[in-house]
């Protein structure tokens, strides 16, 4: 039909008069005809209007649902194809079955859902937010819809509380004052922010809660909420401090080693402190002792520190005395060689040479 019809907003929409669309054996007919219906059919309901298209008694083409609550500039509700109507759903049909897209819109006309059908089977479904961004997408796999995309939730922005304050000299007083206001959630955030900014405040507040827990009244509900958070902050401060302290001692140790190597002499902690301009003799003493026990430097009995050079580390070679010659009985030797001469075992020349050797001639 495709006609334009206006009704006052105060009146309920009325269905068109004339023949009705009825169903016989799965096909649609006009009540006054025996032939399957072909063409467009408009069905006006209280809240929305449906436009349907038929071919040989079966839906074929688009089925469109319009919102009846939209009004034009004159205050009239525009029905059917009026420009002021908003489409609620738009579905593709083929041979009486859903085949194609089924689009759903919100009251502002934005697409919020898009389904895809094939011969009445849903094969994919996608939902959108009000900005048109895809939220969830599902596709048909092995007879079931499986989620293939899900928009991650945006992380909530933390409202960082910026507090400009100076921690008082009386470290014990401020935590007690703040505790009196800790029943307020906003003040609890301030307490935690103070603890993050000041290790002294965090430690003082932690000690106060420990003492209060041992007292007559114990800890209140607000204290029980804050205590684990304060303890976690304190541990964080300790960890940071330990890291800074380790780095400081490593740098100071290298300076001490460089100084002892450069000077090449045994130095007390006071001299090391003076040369390095450290201005903390006790700190130097404690560190030098640690370095000594770790084998990094050496120390004398009167606590003077030094580093052995490579030459000093080498052991001194032991003095070796020449081998002592065994005492020789010259008379016995000469007698022995004389007998050998008389027996003809050696010549006169050999005897004379040996005799000269023995007598040192």
Give the separation between CA 233 and CA 11, rounded to whole angstroms. Answer: 67
Residue 156 is predicted with a pLDDT of 63
Please check whether residues 12 and 115 belong to one and the same domain.
Answer: yes
Residues in the chain: 361
Among 243, 278, 298, the domain-final residue is 243
173 vs 99, more confident: 99
Is a pLDDT exceeding 50 seen at residue 10? no
Please check whether residues 224 and 299 belong to one and the same domain.
Answer: no
Q: Can you name the residues that pair with 111 across neighbouring β-strands?
A: 105
Give the separation between CA 241 and CA 248, rounded to whole angstroms. Answer: 10
Mean pLDDT within 335-346: 84
Q: Give the model confidence (pLDDT) of 163-214 as tens digits.
A: 555 555 555 678 888 888 888 888 889 889 888 888 888 888 888 888 888 8
Is a pLDDT exceeding 80 seen at residue 97? yes
Please check whether residues 67 and 127 belong to one and the same domain.
Answer: yes
In this structure, what token pair is assigned to residue 14?
């009325």
Please check whether residues 202 and 79 belong to one and the same domain.
Answer: no
Question: Confidence band (pLDDT; 50, 70, 90) for 11?
Answer: very low
Give the separation between CA 62 and CA 99, rounded to whole angstroms. Answer: 10
Q: Give the model confidence (pLDDT) of 28-85 as tens digits.
A: 999 899 999 999 988 877 777 888 999 999 999 998 887 766 554 444 444 444 334 5
Residue 331: CA atoms inside 13 Å, Cβ hemisphere, count?
0
Among 214, 243, 272, the domain-final residue is 243
Give the separation between CA 57 and CA 30, rounded to whole angstroms. Answer: 9
Q: Do 256 and 291 touch, CB atoms closer than 8 A?
A: yes
Please check whether residues 272 and 306 belong to one and the same domain.
Answer: yes
Q: Say how many domains are in the chain.
A: 4
Please check whether residues 203 and 144 belong to one and the same domain.
Answer: no
Please check whether residues 226 and 342 belong to one and the same domain.
Answer: no
Place of tokens 């603890």: 195
CA–CA distances in Å: residue 247 to residues 189, 297, 337: 32, 19, 85
Residue 166 is predicted with a pLDDT of 57
281-293 and 221-263 helices cross at what angle (nearest 10)? Answer: 80
* Torsion angle of C-alpha atoms 186, 187, 193, 196, degrees rounded to 10: -130
Percent of the chain with pLDDT over 90: 32
Percent of the chain with pLDDT over 70: 79
When the pLDDT of each residue in the chain is averaged and rounded to a whole number, the result is 80
Q: Give the model confidence (pLDDT) of 243-301 as tens digits.
A: 998 999 999 999 999 999 999 999 999 999 999 998 999 999 999 999 999 999 999 98
Please check whether residues 68 and 143 belong to one and the same domain.
Answer: yes
Question: In which domain, by residue range, is 336 found?
Answer: 330-359
Please check whether residues 296 and 348 belong to one and the same domain.
Answer: no
Please check whether residues 146 and 79 belong to one and the same domain.
Answer: yes
- Range in 85-89, 143-147, 212-216, 240-244 with the lowest mean pLDDT: 85-89
Residue 179 lies inside a defined structural domain of this protein: yes
Please check whether residues 127 and 17 belong to one and the same domain.
Answer: yes
Residue 84 is predicted with a pLDDT of 47
Please check whether residues 131 and 33 belong to one and the same domain.
Answer: yes
What is the pairing mode between strands 144-150 and 134-141? antiparallel
Is a pLDDT exceeding 70 seen at residue 1? no
Give the separation between CA 336 and CA 190, rounded to whole angstroms. Answer: 115
In this structure, what token pair is assigned to residue 255?
């300076």
Contacts 24+ apart (CB under 8 A), 185-189: 188/222, 188/225, 188/226, 189/161
Residue 12 is predicted with a pLDDT of 45
Q: Give the model confidence (pLDDT) of 114-133 as tens digits.
A: 999 999 999 999 999 888 88
Q: Do 150 and 127 touch, CB atoms closer than 8 A?
A: no
Contacts 24+ apart (CB under 8 A), 187-191: 188/222, 188/225, 188/226, 189/161, 190/161, 190/163, 191/226, 191/230
Question: Confidence band (pLDDT; 50, 70, 90) for 4?
Answer: very low
């Amino acid at each position: 039909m495709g006609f334009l019809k206006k009704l006052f907003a105060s009146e309920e929409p009325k269905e068109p008069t004339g023949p009705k669309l009825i169903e016989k054996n799965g096909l649609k007919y006009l009540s006054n005809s025996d032939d399957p219906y072909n063409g467009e059919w408009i069905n006006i309901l209280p809240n929305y209007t449906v436009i349907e298209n038929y071919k040989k008694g079966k839906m074929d083409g688009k089925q469109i649902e319009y919102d009846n609550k939209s009004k034009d500039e004159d205050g009239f509700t525009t029905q059917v194809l009026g420009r002021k109507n908003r489409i609620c759903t738009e579905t593709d049909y083929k041979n009486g079955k859903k085949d194609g897209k089924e689009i759903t819109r919100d009251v502002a006309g934005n697409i919020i859902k898009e389904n895809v059908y094939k011969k009445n089977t849903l094969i994919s479904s996608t939902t959108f937010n009000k900005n048109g961004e895809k939220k969830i997408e599902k596709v048909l796999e092995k007879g079931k819809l499986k989620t293939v995309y899900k928009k991650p939730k945006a992380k909530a922005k933390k409202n960082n509380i910026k507090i400009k304050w100076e921690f008082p000299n009386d470290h014990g007083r401020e935590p007690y004052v703040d505790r009196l206001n800790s029943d307020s959630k906003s003040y609890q955030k301030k307490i935690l922010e103070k603890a993050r900014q000041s290790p002294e405040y965090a430690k003082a507040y932690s000690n106060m809660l420990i003492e209060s827990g041992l007292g007559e009244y114990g800890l209140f509900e607000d204290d029980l909420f804050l205590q684990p958070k304060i303890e976690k902050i304190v541990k964080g401060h300790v960890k940071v401090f330990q890291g800074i302290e380790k780095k400081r001692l490593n740098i100071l140790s290298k300076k001490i080693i460089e100084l002892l190597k450069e000077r090449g002499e045994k130095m007390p902690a006071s001299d090391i402190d003076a040369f390095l301009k450290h201005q903390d003799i006790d700190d130097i003493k404690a560190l030098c002792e640690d370095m000594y026990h770790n084998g990094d430097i050496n120390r004398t009995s009167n606590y003077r520190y030094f580093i052995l050079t490579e030459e000093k580390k080498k052991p001194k070679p032991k003095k070796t005395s020449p081998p002592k010659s065994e005492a020789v009985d010259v008379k016995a030797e000469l007698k022995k060689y004389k007998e050998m001469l008389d027996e003809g075992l050696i010549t006169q020349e050999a005897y004379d040479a040996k005799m000269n050797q023995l007598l040192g001639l």
